[in-house]
Amino acid sequence: MGRIYVVGTADTKGEELAFLAAQIRAAGGDTQLVDVGTRTPRIPVDIAAKDIAALGAPGLLTGTDRGVAVSGMAEAFARFILTRSDIDAIIGIGGGGGTSIVTAGMRELAIGLPKLMVSTLASGDVAPYVGISDILMMPAVTDFAGLNRLSRVLLSEAAAAITAMARVPRVATGTLPAVGLTMFGVTTPAVTQIVELLGTSVEPLVFHATGIGGRTLERLVTSGLVTAMLDITTTEIADLLVGGVLPALPQRLDCLATTSIPWVGSVGACDMVNFWARDTVPATFANRLFYQHNANVTLMRTTPEENRKIGGFLARKLARATGPVTMLLPLRGVSALDIAGGAFFDPAADAALFDAIRQDCDWTGSRRLIELDCHINDAAFAAAAVEALRDIAP
């Protein structure tokens, strides 16, 4: 077991931090207790808050605005984490402010390094804290206001969890080149066939195109961990431009301009925008065409006007790519619902998408546009995608 960082605000959570660190040491762990509080700590610590704050804005610990101090410490702790090479696992405890600070640092650590956050916020929406990392969030159940019969049990369990995670041998990364793929339920047949055709020559990494999936893939691209992209499902762009609940960030595909990575992609699931349960759909979309995917997910068909915007976004991003790109257009439909007889079959809307892509990028040189007389989930599409990738990323 390596070194485990134990992090929290020692000015308000000192008793709990000391108990947690002691439990980890009793299990054989080597701890570093790190204070990210903004006032005088209640316990001895290994790394003081002033050392963290030194990496932030001047006067970080001397102001009176708690919100400013918490935000500043979050930024400083993220910078601090990047200076450390001895972290084998990390565990944090906190309420609202502590969770924000500690997870800001956790998000800077490599995927696969154990990260456990015991938080009073863990039973709610944790997306802002987890981001595109692999942070494990554990509910604190009670607030951190001194040890009690519940917090002792939960912190002991958390200590056992992080020590067990720290003991897991690191799996060696493979020697095969990694290819990142994007998939949605309505493009699963396409991606499944592509993975089978790729065989054992590469290691496929498939990401669910739910906003987080695309961001995670592109972070791995910029980190050099993914060497080619089969970006078949670009539906996150539809949610970004139309107002769905699973959006990409505006930076989607910017990695193509900065990394020269080979990219083969398509317009998978760009026929739909995602919302939660039907009664959560904004009233402005009341007269649109919907498909109830399940009780909690509602899909809305994109219009020709929306598809022109989506196609234009894609084309303009691809026009800035510095490496080879190939766009595949499946002319018979872009999802399992967009097929002859399907709930979202709309050739006019698809045509608007395809036309924008044709017109808004100069398809010459290292940029290729391939139009396929098939559906995205047909075997012919999968074969074309794999062939296109091998042409530009042998």
pLDDT tens digit sequence for 95-125: 999 999 999 999 999 889 999 999 999 999 9
Query: What's the pLDDT tens digit per position in 209-256?
Result: 999 999 999 999 998 889 999 999 999 999 999 999 999 999 999 999
Fold of 3-167: Rossmann fold (3.40.50)
Q: Are 302 and 242 in contact (CB under 8 A)?
A: yes
pLDDT for residue 297 is more than 90: yes
In DSSP terms, which residues pair with 305 in a beta bridge?
none
**Residue-wise burial string across 327-349, b where 16 or more C-beta atoms lie within 10 A, e elsewhere:** bbbbebbbbbbbbeebbbbbeeb
pLDDT tens string 58-82: 989 887 788 899 999 999 999 999 9
User: 3.40.50.12030, 3.40.630.30, 3.30.1010.10, 3.90.1150.10: which CATH number matches 178-392?
Assistant: 3.40.50.12030
Tell me, what's the pLDDT at 394? Answer: 75
Q: Which residues contact residue 149 at a Cβ distance below 8 angstroms, ignoring those fewer than 6 apart?
A: none
Note the pLDDT of residue 344.
Answer: 98
Q: Which two tokens stand for residue 18?
A: 């000391």
Reference 202, options 12, 391, 390; nearest CA is 390
**3-167 against 178-392: fold identical:** yes
Helix (H) or strand (E) holding 377: none
Query: Exposure pattern of 233-246 as b/e (b: 16+ CB <10 Å)?
Result: bbbbbbbbbbebeb
Is the pLDDT at 326 greater than 90? The verdict is yes
Structural domain spans, the chain? 3-167, 178-392
Kindly report, residue by residue over 329-361, the tens digit of the pLDDT.
999 999 999 999 999 999 999 999 999 999 999
Output the six-digit token pair for 327.
């766009």
Partner residues linked to 179 by β-bridges: 204, 228
Q: Which residues contact 96 (CB under 8 A, 6 or more apart)?
A: 120, 121
More confident residue, 111 or 300: 300
Task: Check: CB of residue 108 under 8 Å from CB of residue 78.
Answer: yes
Residue 83, classified by CB atoms within 10 Å of its CB into exposed (0-12), middle (13-18) or buried (19+), is: exposed
CA 316 – CA 14 distance, rounded (Å): 52
Query: For the chain, what percentages of helix, strand and coil (3-state, to nearest 5) are there?
Result: 40, 20, 40
Q: pLDDT (tens digit, 9 = 90+) per residue, 261-283?
A: 999 999 999 999 999 999 999 99
Q: Which residues are CB-contacts of 375 (< 8 A; sequence separation ≥ 6)?
A: 330, 332, 333, 339, 381
